[in-house]
Amino acid sequence: MLKLLSPSSPAASPFLRALGSITGFTRRNPNLGRRAFFCSDAKNGDGVVEIEFKGLGNESEAKSKSSSSSAIIPTNLNPEDYVKVLALPLPHRPLFPGFYMPIYVKDPKLLAALQESRNRQVPYAGAFLVKDEPGTDPCSEMENNIPDLKGKELFDRLHEVGTLAQISSIQGDQVVLIGHRRLHITEMVDEDPVTVKEKPYDKDDDVIKATSYEVISTLRDVLETSVLWRDHAQTYTQHISDFDFTRIADFGAAISGANKLQCQKVLEELDVHERLKLTLELVKKEIEISKIQASLMKKMEEKMLSEQRRKLLNEQLKAIKKELGLEADDRTALCEKFRERLEPNREKCPPNVLQVIEEELSKMQLLDASSSEFNITRNYLDWLISLPWGNYSDENFDVLRAQKVLDEDHYGLTEVKERILEFIAVGKLRGMSEGKIICLAGPPGVGKTSIGRSIAHALNRNFFRFSVGGLTDAAEIKGHRRTYVGAMPGKMVQCLKTVGTANPLVLIDEIDKLGRGHAGHPASALLELLDPEQNANFLDHYLDVPIDLSKVLFVCTANVVHMIPTPLLDRMEVVSIAGYITDEKIHIAREYLEKTTREACGIEPEQVEVTDAALLALIENYCREAGVRNLQQHIERIYRKIALQLVRQGTANEPAVGDPIQSLSDEPAVVEVADSDEHVVGSKVRRDTGNSSQSEATKTVEKVLVDSSNLPDFVGKPVFHAEHIYEQTPVGVVMGLAWTAMGGCPLYIETTQVEEAHGKGALQVTGQLGDVMRESAHIAHTVARSILLDKEPDNTFFADSKLHLHIPAGAIPKDGPSAGCTMITSMLSLAMKKPVNKDLAMTGEVTLTGRILPIGGVKEKTIAARRGGVKTIIFPSANKRDYEELTPNVKEGLDVHFVDDYSQIFNLAFGDHEN
């Protein structure tokens, strides 16, 4: 350890005298030992670990005075005197003698001990750099781990050489230290004291002088180029000539940007020449870093000056053009227009999209306005900026309002409305709604498209519809590449541009009628569009930037679910919509169709009356389809004829041109005429004086009554007759129930005997049947023979008869596994010469053992049975649950039997009707 010189000593340099005046130290006995203490959280003792060191004086004298030093506190302390100090761990850099350092002490006990030492006028502590943990990065942050080190563990982690520091101030947990001299610790206080001193050196050594001068020269260069340590240097530059060699080495290492291990190496080096060499290496590196920094700064300044100069020249160019009256060119004006359109949505636009827009704008400014690339870039920018990036409409999660909207727009459809209300309820609980895929499957005309519009109204979302029926080009969904002539984005991008929000309701119509062409499969392109796991980053080929479609609600419509590709169907939630029964059609016609048509034709309600009997006849004899589109067309046809009739009556009642009623006076003339049916017909005409006259007439004509008797006058002869072709079902004829894309319909199966001879048993089928129904016919023939053999063993009808099975309406293709039991009943009726019971219909597939298999389309077939006047229906037992889910108005007045085996059907078909 170095020996301090008293500030009053003649040998003291001006630097040391200045230091003495700052610290206020006076000279005392330097030959006293010193102790250093480490604060710990140990519960035994006072929680302080001591480390002892001493000066170069008499060891025995120090020991004799150590007992009294704790009781007597000197008024004027000197760093050479015996003092009790605490050891402070430094996490980042060592403290060099002559320098300030603020540190933060997080250990409350250590902070309290420092404050106590300062209050006792013993403002000294030992500052030691903490060693890095083995296997860790020396540059890593370790300040947070220091408070966890206590006692012996902390002692082992400290470097042996540190700095005796004066506690200048304590503010909160910040302690400001001033370094004085080196300290060297080796062991705990219970061992013998250790001695610290620097190796002696020759001040007149030329090598040391040359090294120090080189350090000083390099330091001057560093201070000229670097402002990082200029505040420290200002304190010492005036005393640079009075620095001794040790101060020069410490000063150079302290202001360098070296890491803590390199600085600690300088601090631990006791040989002054070696220390100077280490410091020279550090400051040389610092001067190289300063040169690199200056070079970078110069380049940045040149770049900034170039940009400022370019901007200034552009402003001057604009000013010159403005003075000369010259307008900006098309490219500049167009770029400014694009930037103005982008500005309102700039904050919501994704960063990657903004980058693409800026690049395209810069590219467009360099292109010739007459080039084809310029038009491509302009169209591309127009699409990019037009999209609603981050713009979402405020959704309405009011379930009661949604229920009211759906009920006003549609009658019935309980299952569909319940599903939409569930979606709204989930959105209300979550505070947000995610996009879903709902597929509305049902016959044409049941209101699938209008349901989608009502859902958008209920949710307060924008609505967009596009049909994919017959779509053969996948580019219609994913867009074209920009390199193609006439390239356009896909339907989804067009949708977003049209609606102006990023969370619309998109109705994809006729998804079961997708085509397949040479330009790719559109169904595969729809997978990315509809899949919730993929459409958050939907990539359109034209835009070539990701688009978030996860908030879009997709509603698809289809007539036949099995026509939808399986991967696409797997991502949808199918909601089936069956056809309407007669009661529902009457209500829909009265509440929706008739009102809308009357307003479209401009007819007042008091001018027309359509009776319930007329509507019932219209539905039964003209409009038997599952939906109501054909019914709407017939109602429009009725009202068009009524409008023509009303106009003709009004024209007949108008006054002639030369009628005396047309007075030239300003008073209006009013004429009232009563017809024979006591209906008042009025005409009110106002004539203004002058060459041109304008008339406003309000006429009341005879009310038109539409009843079942005069219905053919409006819509022609009935298209359909009663579903019962026969008043009493003849032998060999049975009514079945079929499902079609238009809904359910009755399906008669007829069997007759063509030829009878011994061993001529055979079966012929007609009616344009598919392979499945042909197989069902042969199975039914086999099962019927076994049943007849069991019921009438002596009857050889099937063995000796050639049968002909036919299903009427041969122009319509028929196929499906649900006519087996009906065919068996028809064959047995012919074989036993027994007609089936009246008002009976059945459906179900039969196995060779007589078991009845389940079928599909229970609701459609039930509606078809009601429409055909059937009272008794036979369903497979497996379909009992499907039937129970139907609404009460569909099941009203029906006697339904659920069977497992054909023997139960045999008893119902050929048993006593009364029973």
Torsion (CA) 329, 332, 338, 341 in degrees, nearest 10: -90
Q: Which residues contact 55 (CB under 8 A, 6 or more apart)?
A: 1, 3, 30, 31, 32, 33, 34, 62, 80
CA 763/CA 545 separation, integer angstroms? 65
Provide CATH code, domain 2-185: 2.30.130.40
Q: Which residues contact 471 (CB under 8 A, 6 or more apart)?
A: 477, 514, 515, 522
Check the annotation: does 448 bind a ligand.
yes
Q: 793-846 pLDDT, tens per residue?
A: 888 888 888 999 998 877 677 788 888 999 999 999 999 988 888 788 999 999
Residue at token pair 């017809």 = 675
Question: What's the CATH number of domain 399-576, 3.30.750.24, 1.20.1730.10, 3.40.50.300, 3.55.10.10?
Answer: 3.40.50.300
Q: Which helix or strand (DSSP H or E) is residue 788 part of? A: helix 771-791
- Beta-carbon count within 10 A of 545 CB: 17
Pick the more confident residue, 890 or 686: 890
* 6 pLDDT more than 50: no
Q: 262-319 pLDDT, tens per residue?
A: 777 777 777 777 777 777 777 777 777 777 877 888 888 888 888 888 888 888 887 7
Residue at token pair 């879903």 = 436
* 56 pLDDT more than 50: no
Residue at token pair 């410091």 = 279
DSSP H stretches of helix in 500-581: 522-530, 566-569
Tell which residue, 73, 81, 70, 102, has the closest CA to residue 26: 81
* 7 pLDDT more than 50: no
Pairing of strands 546-547, 463-467: unpaired
Q: What is the mean pLDDT of residues 112-140?
A: 74
Q: How far is CA 399 from the centre of its chain?
A: 23
CA 892/CA 565 separation, integer angstroms? 37
* pLDDT score recorded for residue 506: 92
Q: What is the mean pLDDT of residues 615-636?
A: 87
Tell which residue, 533, 541, 415, 532, has the closest CA to residue 475: 541
User: Phi-psi category of 665—alpha, beta or left, where left has phi over 0 and alpha has psi -120 to 50?
Assistant: beta
CA 666/CA 419 separation, integer angstroms? 64
What confidence category does residue 113 fall into, taking pLDDT thresholds of 50, 70 and 90?
confident
Strands of 840-842's sheet, edge to edge? Answer: 762-766, 801-806, 743-756, 733-740, 840-842, 872-876, 895-899
Q: Which two tokens stand for residue 295?
A: 């070079």
Q: Which two tokens stand for residue 543?
A: 């835009």
CA 435/CA 511 separation, integer angstroms? 18
* DSSP notation for 54-67: E-SS-HHHHHHHHH
Check the annotation: does 835 bind a ligand.
no
* DSSP notation for 528-540: HHH-TTTGGGEE-
Q: 778-792 pLDDT, tens per residue?
A: 999 999 999 988 888
How long a stretch of residues is the chain? 915
* 898 pLDDT more than 90: yes
Check the annotation: does 218 bind a ligand.
no
How far CA 461 is from CA of 197, 395, 466, 572, in Å, comes to 84, 7, 16, 20
182 contacts 162 by C-beta, under 8 angstroms: yes
Q: Which two tokens stand for residue 434?
A: 């995610």
Residue at token pair 């209906």 = 679
Q: Please calculate the CA angle 545-497-510 and round it to the nearest 5 degrees.
A: 95
Task: Domain 206-290: give its CATH architecture.
Answer: Up-down Bundle (1.20)
860 contacts 626 by C-beta, under 8 angstroms: yes
Check the annotation: does 449 bind a ligand.
yes
Percent of the chain with pLDDT over 90: 9
> What integer best gives the mean pLDDT of the chain?
75
Q: Which two tokens stand for residue 772?
A: 């499945």
Tell me which of 305-309, 495-499, 648-652, 755-759 is least confident: 648-652
pTM above 0.85, yes or no: no
802 contacts 755 by C-beta, under 8 angstroms: yes
Provide CATH code, domain 733-910: 3.30.230.10
User: Phi-psi category of 754—alpha, beta or left, where left has phi over 0 and alpha has psi -120 to 50?
Assistant: alpha
CA 524/CA 473 separation, integer angstroms? 11
Q: Which residues contact 692 (CB under 8 A, 6 or more apart)?
A: none
Percent of the chain with pLDDT over 70: 74
Sequence letter at residue 169: S
* pLDDT score recorded for residue 200: 55
Strands (E), 106-223: 124-129, 161-171, 174-184, 194-195
Phi, psi of 212 (to 5 degrees): -65, -40
What confidence category does residue 14 fall into, taking pLDDT thresholds of 50, 70 and 90?
very low
In the chain, where the domains are located: 2-185, 206-290, 330-386, 399-576, 596-715, 733-910
Tell which residue, 504, 535, 508, 556, has the closest CA to residue 395: 504
CA 868/CA 206 separation, integer angstroms? 126
Q: What is the mean pLDDT of residues 58-71?
A: 31
Check the annotation: does 770 bind a ligand.
no
Q: Which two tokens stand for residue 332?
A: 């500049």
Check the annotation: does 446 bind a ligand.
yes
* 654 pLDDT more than 70: no
Q: 306-357 pLDDT, tens per residue?
A: 888 888 888 888 778 767 765 556 677 788 888 888 888 888 888 888 888 8
Q: Which residues contact 592 (CB under 8 A, 6 or more apart)?
A: 411
* pLDDT score recorded for residue 806: 92
Three-state SS string over 657-700 comes to CCCCCCCCCCCCEEEEEECCCCCEEEEEECCCCCCCCCCCCCCC
* 151 pLDDT more than 70: no
Q: Which long-range contacts (CB under 8 A, 24 or more apart) does 709-714 make?
A: 711/614, 711/617, 711/618, 713/641, 714/637, 714/638, 714/641, 714/642
* pLDDT score recorded for residue 781: 92
Q: What is the mean pLDDT of residues 5-13?
A: 35
* pLDDT score recorded for residue 206: 66
Cα R_g (the chain), whole angstroms = 51
User: Phi-psi category of 839—alpha, beta or left, where left has phi over 0 and alpha has psi -120 to 50?
Assistant: left
Residues taking part in catalysis: 818, 861
CA 335/CA 798 separation, integer angstroms? 88
* pLDDT score recorded for residue 280: 78
CA 31/CA 82 separation, integer angstroms? 8
Residue 758 DSSP SS3? coil
Phi, psi of 719 (to 5 degrees): -85, -40
User: Mutual orientation of helices 372-386 and 491-499 as an angle, nearest 10°?
Assistant: 60
Check the annotation: does 479 bind a ligand.
no
Burial 203-226 (b: 16+ CB within 10 A, else e): eeeeebeebbebbbebbeebbeeb
* pLDDT score recorded for residue 575: 87
Check the annotation: does 431 bind a ligand.
no
Residue 378 DSSP SS3? helix
End-to-end CA distance of the chain: 125
Tell which residue, 60, 52, 51, 62, has the closest CA to residue 28: 62
Q: 692-744 pLDDT, tens per residue?
A: 433 343 445 578 888 888 888 998 888 876 555 677 788 989 988 888 766 67
DSSP state of 21: H
The DSSP bridge partners found for residue 457 are none
What confidence category does residue 519 fall into, taking pLDDT thresholds of 50, 70 and 90?
low
Provide CATH code, domain 596-715: 1.10.8.60
Pairing of strands 872-876, 852-853: unpaired
Three-state SS string over 392-418 comes to CCCCCCCHHHHHHHHHHHCCCCHHHHH
Tell which residue, 610, 662, 617, 612, has the closest CA to residue 636: 610
Q: Which two tokens stand for residue 116?
A: 């106590």
Residue at token pair 């067009």 = 494
* 378 pLDDT more than 70: yes
DSSP state of 836: P
Q: 176-197 pLDDT, tens per residue?
A: 888 877 777 655 443 222 233 4
